[in-house]
Chain A
Amino acid sequence: MITNKENITAVTQFAEQVVEVEGRSLWQDARRRFFSNKAAVISLIILSIIAGLSIFGPILSQWNYADIDWEALSDISTLGSPSIASGHYFGTDPLGRDIFVRTMQGGQISLMVGVLGSFVAIVIGTLYGATSGYMGGRVDSVMMRFLEILNSFPFMFFVIIMMTVFGRHILLIFVAIGAVSWLDMARIVRGQTLSLKNKEYIEAAYACGVSTPKIILRHIVPNVLGVVIIYATLLVPNMILLESFISFLGLGVQEPMTSWGALISEGAPNMEIAVWQLAWPLAFLVVTLFCFNFLGDGLRDALDPKDR
């Protein structure tokens, strides 16, 4: 009897405690799934380290990215090799400039091109795709036809035209790259929008008299954001690779500034005599791209409603 009474009080006490059941939002759910993916989390950490190094790394060295070490210049294959003593942690390039600092500085450019280029591509692609999908009908078919025309252009054509029109200013390089890479994004967003368009909340917004641009910006765009983010992380490595290709053609950043792509294409012909000139920038590039790919896969698993 006594135990029973104790039980009862325990139960009532327990019941008095207000247990709040917290609902998890889509984004919380996604975060939890993302953080349980080890490869993605490790990639994120490595990427932050690389980004941090690119920004603060040059402080660690006594050299500047444009400084020429005349002593090393006299004999690159021995004096220019990586050593702690000479201060050239990664060695020097054929002109006696420090590869460590140049790799870090190139990292700033490459990462910026990747991120800003993707950002431009995403903004244009999302707005274009959402508008096309939401408007439907004739507007949609005209917009899609235009996309098809742009899509049949060789990619390099645009890039080179933009380079010649705008000159070789670094900001314009990623605007140019971004402006020609939004086509796939637009198509993906349009597909998503088509299925969102008939949802009740869009109808409700329309019934309340919300204007079309506002429906697109406030109701459609936030709901396609998941797909956009996944695609964006996969776009960044492509942008970085593209920039490196443009640098290979000699149309990229201007000396004495550099990028990973520029460093790699400078280092590749010397790989037999001075392998460090290729190895360091290449290692940074490869690791970064690897990490972005894993990050993209992790985000896809976390955000894609299909695989739940």
Chain B
Amino acid sequence: MLRFIIKRLLEAIPTLLALVTLSFFLMHFAPGSPFTSERGVPPAVLANLQAKYHMNESLMSQYFHYLWDLLHGNLGYSFRFTDFTINQLVAQSFPVSAEIGFWSFVVAVSIGVLCGVFAALRQNSLLDYGVMAFANIGMVLPNFVIAPLCILFFSIHYHWLPAGGWNGGAWPYLIMPVIAMSTSYIAQIARITRGSMIETMHSNFIRTARAKGLPKSHIIIRHALRPAMLPVVSYLGPAFVGIITGSVVVDQFFGTGGIGQHFVNGAINRDYSMVMGITILIGTLTILFNAIVDIVYVFIDPKIRY
């Protein structure tokens, strides 16, 4: 078991290296440079700027510079927020996104799974249709519609919640971002749970459990839930990464200052080090959580042996 875990984590290293390499060269081959602007910079200043970021050197030497810094845990200086290092910016914005993401994840999993299980147990009933209609709406409403609707409803009409800001993550500031963030995940999780729960309830071992005369609640909780959770767990790995790395929509509407905004703006402004830093962060988390899902699978799926 331990060997499997170590092997799985070691396998991630070459993947990560490939990720860094590929994103570095893709980013640098894209046309435009961080210093192109409408006003332009005097050539002497430009030369100094380029020297500061090693941009007067060859691409290969820039790449090795970057790798060397990365090995020391240094993501470089931002091209736009010139007084900050990427480490500082990430340290500032990632906790915000992670906190919103964590609560969204908790909400999405608990509501999603609950909805999915109940819909599956009452298949084709009114409850089922209601839950699935709700789930479908959550999936088709873009969150840049949900976010302003929330503000309109909770802040402008009822004055219940502040319309934006972060304030160190006090709970009134957290509610609307969590709603905007979790809706589509609730919908997805409910759909997946329902599908796999229906399949599980039709399988032979559940019939056996019924034939033994076990109480229904016992069958559902002890027998059906675990195998039914397998597809949900494999969805949750990548979903968790997506959810804690924030969303530009949430950052933009609620002014929370999370990491999603930095990422998109960085890419548009050619802030190479910013985009690279966040890509590496998200990539590392994705690889890590895929590995965790594989490991969790071993525990909940008795059919898998290593």
- Which residue numbers of A lie inside 8 Å of B, CB to CB? 145, 148-149, 151-154, 156-157, 160-161, 164-165, 237, 241, 244-245, 248-249, 251, 261, 264-265, 268-269, 271-272, 278, 282, 285-286, 289-290, 293
Contacts and interface: CB of A to CB of B under 8 A. Distances in A.
B283 A152 contact: yes
A293 B26 CA distance: 35
Contact of A268 (B23, B144, B156, B263): B144
A161 B276 CA distance: 12
Contacts of B278: 154
B144 A245 contact: yes
Contacts of B22: 149, 153
A268 B290 CA distance: 36
B31 A165 contact: yes
Contacts of A151: 286
Contact of A289 (B26, B32, B140, B283): B140
Nearest to B26: A161
B145 A268 contact: yes
A153 B278 CA distance: 10
Contacts of B67: none
A157 B142 contact: no
Given A160-B267, A290-B136, A165 B144 contact: no
B275 A157 contact: yes
Contacts, number: 97
A248 B23 contact: no
Interface residues of B, number: 40
23 contacts: A149-B15, A149-B19, A152-B283, A152-B286, A152-B287, A152-B290, A153-B19, A154-B283, A156-B263, A157-B23, A157-B279, A161-B30, A237-B139, A245-B249, A261-B142, A264-B142, A272-B156, A282-B145, A285-B140, A285-B142, A286-B140, A290-B136, A293-B140
A179 B124 CA distance: 37
Q: Is the interface of B mostly helix, strand, loop or mixed?
A: helix
B70 interface: no
B137 interface: yes
Contact of A165 (B15, B30, B145, B249): B30
Contacts of A249: 248, 264
A145 B19 CA distance: 11
Contacts of A278: 145
A148 B15 contact: yes
A39 B85 CA distance: 54
B27 interface: yes
Nearest to A244: B142
A149 B15 CA distance: 6
A28 to B, nearest CB: 26
A154 B152 contact: no
